[in-house]
């Protein structure tokens, strides 16, 4: 009865309640953030970072950002994007190297992964806090409600990124590494004695399969890198031209809710989830010589792609190889050549021999 004369009271009360529920969940995001930073600090320390300056170093890394290119004038945007991505990586690597002077090149890529995870855990926490504070500042129920709605997804996201940390610190493969893992297993299966470094952190091994030549490509392991497969595919295709009868890309791909982890599917196009430049180069190289572009994907949830590889995914390796062999029998005549590329992070996956 009294409330009828003060219509704002119930809404304010609900706002306060909602904010207090959000505050509880923010504690969880904060905990992920703190643990991410702690793991990063431990890794930096392991490679000789100055302990006195640790807080400063960690802060610098988790606040690191890059700014995407302007897209109002899309002309040449992929070149600018590629430049920004390269530059960002180069700068982050130099930063890490200056903080952790005892690190070697291979491990640096893995530390880069740890840094990226700590950075994103910090970002998630920061953004959630921002909206919480905004809702509090303006006593705005609707902002509070929106942040409360997406909180479960944010916590899930943070949890999944956090799960990637033990993989990066122990250097074990993550779900996304299934593509490189398939190629590494092909090196073993066909007794590839030597792999060549083809630049852009990519390697290439040559094998023979039923009178056909296979060019098997992956990022250089076992450090955590994806390399630049587009640049390397272009380089190899420019070299062998239409002697290559098919380009097969193998990659982890997002499954829909309800689909089975580790299920395999085949289609057309370049299976690669980069922001654009690498995919563009693969498509362009294939188009120039009219080479068919076939994609094999191994489905998994986003959480599975960034955390240590589960058995259900890893044990699909032989089945994927069988599929590749079948494709090659169908599409490449005897005496012909096929380029097979394992796309993804090669963390914990070596280079064969």
Token digits of residue 209: 């399969």
Minimal distance in Å, beta carbon 195 to other proteins?
10
d(CA 201, CA 189): 23
Identify which of residues 32 and 280 has a Cβ nearer to other proteins in the complex: 32
Choosing from 19, 92, 100, 151, the residue that interacts with other proteins (CB under 8 A) is: 151
Phi and psi at 247, nearest 5°, equal: -115, 120
163 binds other proteins (CB under 8 A): yes
Token digits of residue 264: 């395999």
How buried is residue 315: exposed, middle or buried, by Cβ count under 10 Å (0-12/13-18/19+)? exposed
214 binds other proteins (CB under 8 A): no
Rg (CA), the chain: 24
Token digits of residue 150: 């997406």
Identify which of residues 79 and 170 has a Cβ nearer to other proteins in the complex: 170
- From 58-66, 78-86, 161-169, 264-272, span contacting other proteins (CB under 8 A): 161-169
- From edge to edge, which strands make up the β-sheet containing 337-342? 195-199, 202-209, 212-219, 337-342, 244-254, 293-300, 264-268
27 binds other proteins (CB under 8 A): yes
Choosing from 54, 95, 123, 155, the residue that interacts with other proteins (CB under 8 A) is: 155
166 binds other proteins (CB under 8 A): yes
264 binds other proteins (CB under 8 A): no
35 binds other proteins (CB under 8 A): yes
Q: How many CB atoms lie within 10 A of CB 31?
A: 14
Minimal distance in Å, beta carbon 109 to other proteins?
13
3-state secondary structure of 268: strand
277 binds other proteins (CB under 8 A): no
- The answer to whether 299 and 263 are in contact (CB under 8 A) is yes
36 binds other proteins (CB under 8 A): no
Residue 191 vs residues 195, 347, 349, 350: alpha-carbon distances, Å: 11, 22, 17, 14
Minimal distance in Å, beta carbon 33 to other proteins?
12
Identify which of residues 246 and 306 has a Cβ nearer to other proteins in the complex: 306
Identify which of residues 76 and 166 has a Cβ nearer to other proteins in the complex: 166
Site string for other proteins, 300-319 (x = CB under 8 A): --------xxxxxxxx-x--
- From 157-165, 226-234, 235-243, 283-291, span contacting other proteins (CB under 8 A): 157-165
Q: Which of residues 172-191 bind other proteins (CB under 8 A)?
A: 172-173, 181, 184-185, 187-188
- The answer to whether 267 and 292 are in contact (CB under 8 A) is no
229 binds other proteins (CB under 8 A): no
The structure tokens 């980069």 sit at 274
How buried is residue 265: exposed, middle or buried, by Cβ count under 10 Å (0-12/13-18/19+)? middle
Nearest alpha-carbon partner for 252 in 296, 217, 298, 219: 298
Identify which of residues 165 and 253 has a Cβ nearer to other proteins in the complex: 165
**What number of chain residues touch other proteins (CB under 8 A)?**
41
User: Applying CB under 8 A, which residues contact other proteins?
Assistant: 24-25, 27-28, 31-32, 35, 151-152, 155-156, 159, 162-163, 166, 170-173, 181, 184-185, 187-188, 221-222, 308-315, 317, 348-353
């Amino acid at each position: 009865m009294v409330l009828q004369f003060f219509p704002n009271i119930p809404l304010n009360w609900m706002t306060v309640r909602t904010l207090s529920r959000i505050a509880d969940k923010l504690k969880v995001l904060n905990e992920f953030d703190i643990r991410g930073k702690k793991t990063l600090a431990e890794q930096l320390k392991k490679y000789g970072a100055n302990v006195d300056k640790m807080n400063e170093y960690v802060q610098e890394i988790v606040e690191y950002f890059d700014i995407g290119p302007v897209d109002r004038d899309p002309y040449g945007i992929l070149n600018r994007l590629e430049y920004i991505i390269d530059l960002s990586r180069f700068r982050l690597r130099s930063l890490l190297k200056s903080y952790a002077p005892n690190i070697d090149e291979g491990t640096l890529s893995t530390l880069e992964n740890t840094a990226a995870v700590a950075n994103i855990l910090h970002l998630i926490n920061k953004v959630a806090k921002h909206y919480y504070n905004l809702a509090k500042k303006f006593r705005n129920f609707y902002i509070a409600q929106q942040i409360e709605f997406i909180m479960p997804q944010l916590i899930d996201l943070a949890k999944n990124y956090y799960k990637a940390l033990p993989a990066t610190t122990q250097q074990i493969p993550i779900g996304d590494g299934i593509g490189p893992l398939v190629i590494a297993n092909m090196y073993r299966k066909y007794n590839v004695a030597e792999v060549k470094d083809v630049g852009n952190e990519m390697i290439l091994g040559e094998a023979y399969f039923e009178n056909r030549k296979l060019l098997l490509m992956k990022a250089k392991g076992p450090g955590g890198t994806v390399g630049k497969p587009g640049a390397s595919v272009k380089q190899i295709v420019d070299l062998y031209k239409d002697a290559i009868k098919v380009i097969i890309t193998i990659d982890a791909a997002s499954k829909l809710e309800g689909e089975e982890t580790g299920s395999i599917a085949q289609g057309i196009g370049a299976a690669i989830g980069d922001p654009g430049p690498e995919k563009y180069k693969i498509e362009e190289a294939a188009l120039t010589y009219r080479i068919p572009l076939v994609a094999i994907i191994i489905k998994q949830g986003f959480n599975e792609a960034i955390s240590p590889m589960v058995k259900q995914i890893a044990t699909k390796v032989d089945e994927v190889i069988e599929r590749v062999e079948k494709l090659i029998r169908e599409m490449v005549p005897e005496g012909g050549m096929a380029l097979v590329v394992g796309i993804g992070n090669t963390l914990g996956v070596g280079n064969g021999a």
